[in-house]
Amino acid sequence: MWKARLNRRELLESLLVDVVAKVERCDNIELDANSSLDDDQFLVFWRSNPVASNEFPVLLVVPDAKVVETLALLASTPQLPSPFSSFCRVVSEIDFRALATHKSSGRSEVLDGLVGMSLAEVAILSNGNLRVSDIGPAACRRSLSFTFGRSLFACATHFLPISVEGWYRVQQVVNPFANIGLMRDVGAASTMMFGVAAEVFSGLPPTTVMSSVCYEILEFGEPSEDVWANLKSPVGESPSLKTLNAYAREERGSYLQAALASMEIARARPTDEEVAFCALLASRIAPGSFEHMNLLASFPDKRVALWYGFFAALQRRSQALRSYGGIGLRVRRDLLKAVKFSEIPSSDISLNELLVISRQGIDMMSKRLGHSNEIVVELCPTLEASFRFALKQEKAAEYSGGEDSQRRISFPNDVSDDPSSVVVDKLDTARQLLAEISIVLKGVGYSEEKGVRASKGRNTPKRSR
């Protein structure tokens, strides 16, 4: 790569007229990441010598407090390509340091659980209109679960909470007639699974029963009797795992129905252990498939279907991902796609620039999208997410007229009509937990350079029989 440190005037000249002469080869980008920028200084990177090739830069590093101001300046310059961030990433100094030092490494098998969750999320948000066999990979790529899996695999740890918050903000800007209330409820229900996935991916010791279940499924194919006993059945004392495996399929199905019925009529909100018990039980009725996804997607507590997708995708060496024509394998392929920040962006716009131009309206974006009615937004550097996009006129025509239309665009605030299922400050709770996860991954036994901890064997729960 090639680089140059430019002031504001030199930056605009290099973008509009010709590249300035003080360009030099970049041999070690980490050294540049550790240096600081002056208040009116920018660090620009090109893939090849711009003096010889006259190519557009691929990365622009700006002072931390100048990101929005710089994007507004670039967006207001008509001679520049727009959106600017679809050609060149504009990042702050702190994000640049995280990008330059990040090494993607971790236990990627757990990401299969997030693939299963993305299928469950689509099924839930369709309100029963889509069966698993009808879900396509494009719908899964638009899910929050897929976006979090991508951020866990491809981004530095401090981007984890940013990715979730950014996903919601884009939904509100480009898809205001979506069921935002239900999306928030599903996101809040997913928080525990996101924490488990982050722990296991990073090789941290399990801190919850669900983390232990996940570890043992990956290590041994199923949880131990001790861990199984720590999950709480909603219908009293649960049979041992060995006894449950000896049940006929119909008996296991009847036991699941009784457990779900007990949770549905309970006055108190079911615990995470009770929900995980029902989901794990459902995944063992027809192992290696998503056969019960449609049944659980209509259950009032959305956590059941999400945990079911998570557990079902992990068991039997992720055999469930091969079902329905390999839909899960396609989603996993997209989730594990490697993206380098030194490459030209492939998104339509970055989150920061989208928020800047949204003040004046985003209808003009429809002429600059790669796909009709779909916009790809880079939530944070190297993390792209897909969203539905439609012009206001098209939305008005689609949703105008009659009582039925008003019902379709209503934004419910609760998971169900049962007040006990309401989660207070759902998004704030999710953000707080993800921020705590990010801090833990940075400071407690996890190294970005080394990936999982060196003493990996100590972090794997011992199997007790």
Q: Which of 101, 118, 153 is the last residue before a domain boundary?
A: 101
CB atoms inside a 10 Å sphere around CB 454: 11
Structural domain includes residue 350: no
Query: How far apart are the C-alpha atoms of 161 and 435, rounded to whole Å?
Result: 6
Pair 140, 225 in one domain: yes
Pair 116, 95 in one domain: no
Strand-pairing partners, residue 92, are 62
Pair 119, 73 in one domain: no
**At 440, is the pLDDT very low, low, confident or very high (cuts 50, 70, 90)?**
low
Structural domain includes residue 69: yes
Structural domain includes residue 65: yes
Pair 97, 112 in one domain: no
Say how many domains are in the chain: 2
pLDDT at 125 over 90: yes
Q: Quick one: residue 416, left, alpha or beta (phi over 0 = left, psi -120 to 50 = alpha)?
A: beta
Work out the average pLDDT over 25-52.
83
Q: Which of 61-65, 159-163, 401-405 has the lowest mean pLDDT?
A: 401-405
Pair 283, 418 in one domain: yes
Query: How far apart are the C-alpha atoms of 454 and 361, rounded to whole Å?
Result: 50
Q: Which of 82, 101, 120 is the last residue before a domain boundary?
A: 101
Task: Supply the pLDDT for residue 463.
Answer: 56
Burial label for 52, CB within 10 Å (0-12, 13-18, 19+), is exposed
Structural domain includes residue 344: no
Query: 345: cis peptide before it, omega within 30°?
Result: no
Pair 113, 232 in one domain: yes
Pair 68, 207 in one domain: no
Instruction: Please give the residue range of the domain that contains residue 316.
Output: 108-338+400-459
Helix (H, G, I), strand (E, B), or coil: what is residue 451?
strand
**At 294, is the pLDDT very low, low, confident or very high (cuts 50, 70, 90)?**
very high
Pair 151, 69 in one domain: no
Query: How far apart are the C-alpha atoms of 195 and 437, rounded to whole Å?
Result: 7
Query: How far apart are the C-alpha atoms of 284 and 244, rounded to whole Å?
Result: 9
What are the Cα distances from residue 221, in Å, to 107, 224, 238, 288? 16, 10, 20, 11
Residue whose pair of structure tokens reads 């691929």 in the numeric block: 58
Pair 160, 300 in one domain: yes
Strand-pairing partners, residue 376, are 386
Structural domain includes residue 420: yes
Task: Supply the pLDDT for residue 422.
Answer: 36
Is the model's pTM score more than 0.85?
no
Pair 62, 113 in one domain: no
pLDDT at 406 over 50: no
Pair 260, 297 in one domain: yes
Convert 186-198 into a string of H (helix), E (strand) and C (coil). Answer: HHHHCHHHHHHHH
Structural domain includes residue 389: no
Structural domain includes residue 343: no
Amino acid at 236: G
Contacts of 366 (CB under 8 A, 6+ apart): 389, 391
Q: Beta strand 59-62 with 89-92: parallel, antiparallel or unpaired?
A: parallel
Pair 36, 113 in one domain: no
Contacts of 143 (CB under 8 A, 6+ apart): 117, 118, 121, 122
* Beta carbons of 313 and 116 less than 8 angstroms apart: yes
Per this entry, what is the length of the chain? 465
Strand order in the sheet with 89-92: 24-25, 2-6, 42-46, 59-62, 89-92
Q: Which of 101, 129, 153 is the last residue before a domain boundary?
A: 101
pLDDT at 460 over 80: no
* Beta carbons of 225 and 241 less than 8 angstroms apart: yes
Strand order in the sheet with 374-380: 349-350, 374-380, 383-388
Q: Tens digits of per-residue pLDDT, 334-364?
A: 999 988 888 899 999 999 999 998 887 777 7
Structural domain includes residue 130: yes
